[in-house]
Amino acid sequence: MPSALVFFNELSDAPSKAQRELLTLASRFDRATLAVASEVPQSAQDVVSGYGVDKLLVAPGNDDVFIDHALSALAAAVKQSEADVVLVANDNFNREIAARLAVRLDGAVITDAIDVSADLVVTKDELAGSYSAQAKATNGTLFVTVKPNSIEDAPQPQSQGQQLEVQPLDYEAAATPAIRIVATEAKAVSDRPKLTEARVVVAGGRGVNGDFGPVEDLADALAGAVGASRAATDAGWISHDAQIGQTGVTVSPQLFISAGISGAIQQKAGMQTSKCIIAINKDVDAPVFEIADFGIVGDLAKVLPQAAEEIRRRQA
């Protein structure tokens, strides 16, 4: 039976939901190894061991180099673990290292995966979620980038308290890195979940008319993230980080609430794989209703506060 390697560039005290989903996926395989390109705190090791990971390979971090360090660490981890499949996140950074290593090792890479079976059949979204395809690698090590919210986070009860075997990663640091970080600045941290990983996303468009308050309030009532259409980000009502769509981020939450967004094809490209879509629009003919599971024809300024109030009343 195949064995799996999960790779993280870094792992904080509390592994993120997307990281726990990857560990859950790895537990499906005969052997699961985790490699991290920086130091791993003990609290994170305790969480990892609860997912049935057999071995943890750790590379001492080097703040000065960026992608070169991750590439060297992952290449060494693939060699050391002898894994058949390598599971990484679906962000740009991991897609790049997966693709570069797959070429270097004469392997295969599949992106945007939503599942990997125990016999290495990968299910992935195609054409912005209009189709789902199943694919199998025909050559070498398989690198798979897995979309967040595709796998149910499920620690392995039988692994709780299990001793994790920790080994240093036997790798050679890149001698002359192509990129050197000269400065970093931490972004202001929001209490809300990360947009690409959130289980619930509430998104607003031109229809909010400059006021994202009701969108943010409903997102907070549902412990969700806030997203936006390009019309809203271009208007400067919210940061460009929140843009969902062809030229923004792709989200695939359990619940997506679209408010005052018409549903242009470029917008749908970023959200139509959401499990349940609720659309609020005052125009009954808005294209967003074509892909919505539930539609509310009405003024978002009235609908959103009522929804938030009712949710809080039921939570109390």
Is 100 known as a binding-site position?
Answer: no
Is 238 known as a binding-site position?
Answer: no
Q: To the nearest whole angstrom, how small is the minimum distance from the Cβ of residue 125 to ligand FAD?
A: 16
Q: To the nearest whole angstrom, how small is the minimum distance from the Cβ of residue 191 to ligand FAD?
A: 25
Is 312 in a helix, a strand, or coil?
helix
Q: Whose Cβ is closer to ligand FAD: residue 15's or residue 205's?
A: 205
Q: To the nearest whole angstrom, how small is the minimum distance from the Cβ of residue 295 to ligand FAD?
A: 11
Q: Which chain residues interact with ligand FAD by CB under 6 A?
A: 205-207, 229-232, 243, 245-248, 260-262, 264, 266-267, 270, 280-283, 286, 299-301
What Cα–Cα distance (Å) separates residue 223 from each residue in 24, 131, 246, 304? 23, 30, 25, 15
Q: To the nearest whole angstrom, how small is the minimum distance from the Cβ of residue 16 to ligand FAD?
A: 24
Is 161 known as a binding-site position?
Answer: no
Is 28 known as a binding-site position?
Answer: no
Which run of H or of E encompasses 75? helix 67-81
Is 206 known as a binding-site position?
Answer: yes
Q: Whose Cβ is closer to ligand FAD: residue 15's or residue 263's?
A: 263
Q: To the nearest whole angstrom, how small is the minimum distance from the Cβ of residue 218 to ligand FAD?
A: 13
Q: Whose Cβ is closer to ligand FAD: residue 81's or residue 281's?
A: 281
Is 95 known as a binding-site position?
Answer: no
- CA gap 229, 234 in Å, rounded: 9
Q: Whose Cβ is closer to ligand FAD: residue 126's or residue 299's?
A: 299
- CA gap 131, 273 in Å, rounded: 10
Please name the residues in contact with 50: beta carbons below 8 A apart, sequence gap of 6 or more: 155, 156, 159, 160, 162
Q: Whose Cβ is closer to ligand FAD: residue 94's or residue 233's?
A: 233
Q: DSSP labels for 232-286?
A: HHHTTSS-GGGBBSTTSB----SEEEEES----HHHHTTTTT-SEEEEEES-TT-
Please name the residues in contact with 22: beta carbons below 8 A apart, sequence gap of 6 or more: 6, 8, 87, 88, 89, 146, 151
Is 90 known as a binding-site position?
Answer: no
Q: To the nearest whole angstrom, how small is the minimum distance from the Cβ of residue 193 to ligand FAD?
A: 20
The order of strands in the sheet holding 4-8 is: 131-135, 122-126, 108-116, 142-146, 85-89, 4-8, 32-36, 55-58, 165-168
Q: Whose Cβ is closer to ligand FAD: residue 148's or residue 207's?
A: 207
- Residue among 101, 120, 140 nearest 26 (CA): 120
- Whether 8 and 40 have beta carbons less than 8 Å apart is answered as no
Residue stretches of the annotated binding site: 206, 229-230, 243-247, 281
Binding-site positions for FAD read: 206, 229-230, 243-247, 281
